[in-house]
């Protein structure tokens, strides 16, 4: 039974070396055999999974991910106090016939990633920016040590 692909394999189209070692002949450069028949791309309806960096500063949790080729209005970022979900779609801008490809390694289609945060954040004060294909999401940490006094009202 074939193991499920990792998020990296879904995103990049790579495959485990064991999956690629078989007795089939090496591909030639004839047009009919340029693209391997067993594609490692997500099947229809399957999403690619983004790779992310998540780190902290003294005041915030920062999430970064590469989303090159995606416009800001094509990204959907949802935030709760303990989770961030990033969704989008990377669309091919030109149509190329399958027979004209020599290599087909870029991922096109929908993608998403949900990140469980290491601590609660202030979702209302979160900020996201996109620069040079890198999305950066800054999430202010909630101060659990901070206390607040409540006045008791007479009814």
- Residue-wise pLDDT tens digits, 20-54: 555 555 555 444 444 444 444 445 457 788 899 99
The conformation of residue 126, written as its DSSP 8-state character, comes to -
For 88-130, the pLDDT digits (tens) are 988 877 788 888 888 888 788 899 999 999 999 999 999 999 9
The whole-model pTM stands at 0.63
Q: Tell me the C-alpha distance between 35 and 66, whole Å.
A: 26
Residue labelled with tokens 């970064």: 64
CATH code for the domain defined by 7-140: 2.60.40.790
Q: Is the pLDDT of residue 62 over 60?
A: yes
pLDDT value of residue 31? 45
């Amino acid at each position: 039974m074939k193991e499920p692909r990792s998020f990296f394999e879904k995103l990049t189209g790579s495959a485990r070396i064991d999956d690629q070692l078989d007795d089939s002949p090496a591909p030639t450069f004839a047009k009919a055999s340029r693209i391997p028949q067993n594609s490692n791309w997500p099947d229809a309806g399957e999403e690619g999974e983004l790779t992310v960096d998540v780190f902290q500063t003294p005041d915030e949790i920062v999430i970064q991910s590469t989303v090159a080729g995606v416009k800001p209005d094509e990204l959907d970022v949802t935030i709760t106090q303990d989770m961030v979900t990033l969704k989008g779609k990377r669309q091919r801008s030109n149509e190329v016939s399958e027979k004209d490809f020599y290599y087909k390694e870029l991922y096109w289609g929908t993608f998403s990633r949900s990140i469980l945060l290491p601590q609660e954040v202030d979702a209302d004060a979160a900020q996201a920016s996109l620069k040079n294909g890198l999305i950066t999401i800054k999430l202010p940490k909630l101060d659990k040590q901070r206390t607040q006094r409540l006045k008791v009202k007479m009814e």
